[in-house]
Chains A and B, each alone.
Chain A
C-alpha cells in the first residue's frame, strides 16, 4: 500500500478546496438563479443557506474526513460496514460527471483557439449549435463523433491524469496553487471590464433589483439551498478525501468558512461580470434582455462571444478579452475535474490498496471512452438528461443521507468535539441542530418537490426511452453498483487502524 500523502501547506489545501468548488456552474448557474428568484432579494435566502447548510456541511465533511483519515468509501465503512455503500454512491457521482464535464471543458479549449479569429462570427448561437456541436434531432440520433470535440476532451483527460497521478502534494496542490489565484485575478479583471461598459447598469438592475415578494415563496428558498449545496461540491466524496490528507494539527472550522465564502464570492463576482456584459449587449443591439439571458452553457458559448465581438475596443483587444474569458473557464473546469478524479482515486486506493498510477490509467482510458458519447451530435441531449438526474437526485439524496448518517448515527456532537480543539475558533451546539435537523429537512423537501415535478412532466420533453436509459437508468444504475461493490470484501488494512471511535 502506498504511503499516505499530505498537503504541504494550509494555503495549498484552501486553494484546492476552492478550486474544487469553483467550477463552470459559478459562471452560468448562480447569476440566473438570482435573476429568476427575486433578483437582489435572492441574496437574503442565499446568505441564510450559506450559513445554515453550506458551512455546516463543509465543517462536517472536513471534520469527519480528517478524523477518519480516509476517503469516502472507507470513511462511511468505518461507522459500520453496512454504510459503505453511501461512500461508493458518493464517488459514483464524480465518476459519471467527469465524463461529460471534461467534454464541456474541451468546448472551452476549442473556443480558446477560436478566440484568435473570433471563429463564431456574427451569429454565435447558430455557430455553437450548428457547425461546432452539430446538435442532432434527439438523444437517439447520434450522427457520428465530432472529432474536434473528441480531441479536446482527450487533452482534458490527459491534463487531469497528469496532475492526479502525481498525488495530492505534488499534483493537485501544485496545480491549484496557480490555477485558483489565476482564476480570481481573471474574474476581477472581467468584473471591472464588464462594469465599465455602457449599459452595465441596466444589466445590474436586472440582476440585483430586489423583488422582496418572492422571499415568501418556498421555491425561492429551495433554489437558494440547492444553489449553495450543489455549488460547494458537497456530498460527492471530494471534501472528505481532501480533508483526509491534512496534517493532524490542522484547522477545520475556519477552513470550511473560507472555502464556502470564497466559492460564494466567485458566484457573486461572476454574476456582476455576466450581467454587466448582458446589459451591454442588450443596450448595444436593442434585443430584449429576456432573449439574451439564457442560462446554462449558452451564456459562455453564445452570449459572451457575442458580447466580446461587440466590445468597444480594437480587434486585438477583443482577442485578449476572449482569451482571458475562455482561459478562466478552462482553469475553473480543470481544477474542479481534478477534484472529481481525486474523490474516485483516494476512495478506491484506500479501499483496495490499488496502485495510483495503474488505477488512474485505467480510469482515464475507460472514462475517455464514455466521454466520446458526448462528442456525438446527440451528446448535448444526453448530457442534459444525465446532468439533470445526477444533479437533481443523486447529489441531493446523498447530501440528505450524509446528514442523517453522520449527524445521527455517527453523531454530530462527536465531530464537533473533534474539530473544536483543532480550529481557529469553535462551533457551538447550534451546529448540531443545523446538521441534524435543518439540512436534512431542507434537502428532503428539495428532493420531494423535484420528484413531484418529474412525474408531472417528463424532463425536457425528451422521449421516455431516453429518460429511462440516460436518466433513471444512470441514476439507479449508480445506486445498484454502489450496493453491489460495498458487499465485496475490502482490504483488511482499510478498516484496521482508525476504527470509528
Chain B
C-alpha cells in the first residue's frame, strides 16, 4: 500500500496550492499596499 505521490496527484497539489494560496497572497498584498497608501495620505 505504501507508495510515493503520483505525478498527476502532485500536479493537482501544485495547482491547488498555486491558485488558492497564490491568489490569497496577491489579494492580501494589494490590501496591504492600499492601506499603506491611505496611511501615507493621512486617511
Do these two chains interact?
Answer: yes
Interface residues of A (CB under 8 A from B): 10, 39-41, 43, 47, 198-199, 201-202, 204-205, 207-210, 249, 251, 254-255, 257-258, 261-262, 264-265, 268, 272, 282-283, 286, 424-425
Interface contact B31-A10, CB-CB below 8 Å: yes
Contact indicator A40/B12 (Cβ below 8 Å): yes
Q: Across the interface, do B27 and A264 meet the contact criterion of CB distance under 8 Å? A: no
Within 8 A of A (CB), among B1-30: 1-6, 8-13, 15-17, 19-21, 23-24, 27-28, 30
4 other A-B residue contacts (CB within 8 Å) besides A40-B12, A43-B15, A251-B31? A10-B35, A39-B9, A41-B12, A208-B12
Picked from A39, A254, A265, A282, the residue with its CB within 8 Å of the CB of B20 is A265
Q: Which residues of A contact B17 (CB under 8 A)?
A: 268
Instruction: Select one of A201, A210, A251, A283 contacting B5, CB under 8 A.
Output: A201
List residues of B whose CB falls within 8 A of some A CB.
1-6, 8-13, 15-17, 19-21, 23-24, 27-28, 30-31, 34-35, 43
Complex Cα–Cα for A442 and B34 (A): 34
Which of A39, A43, A201, A255 touches B4 (beta carbons < 8 Å)? A201
Check B30 against A249 for contact (C-beta < 8 Å).
no
B30 touches A424 (CB 8 A): yes
Residues of chain A within 8 A (CB-CB) of B15 are 40, 43
Shortest Cβ gap from A401 to chain B (Å): 29
Q: Give bound CA distance, A10 to B3, whole Å.
A: 45
**Is the beta-carbon distance between A283 and B1 smaller than 8 angstroms?**
yes
Closest CB-CB distance, B37 to chain A, in whole Å?
10
Q: Assuming A201-B4, A201-B5, A286-B1, is B12 touching A261 (CB within 8 A)?
A: no
Q: How far is the CB of A19 from chain B (nearest CB, A)?
A: 16
B43 CB contacts on chain A under 8 angstroms:
249
With contacts A43-B15, A261-B20, A424-B34 known, is A202 near B27, CB below 8 A?
Answer: no
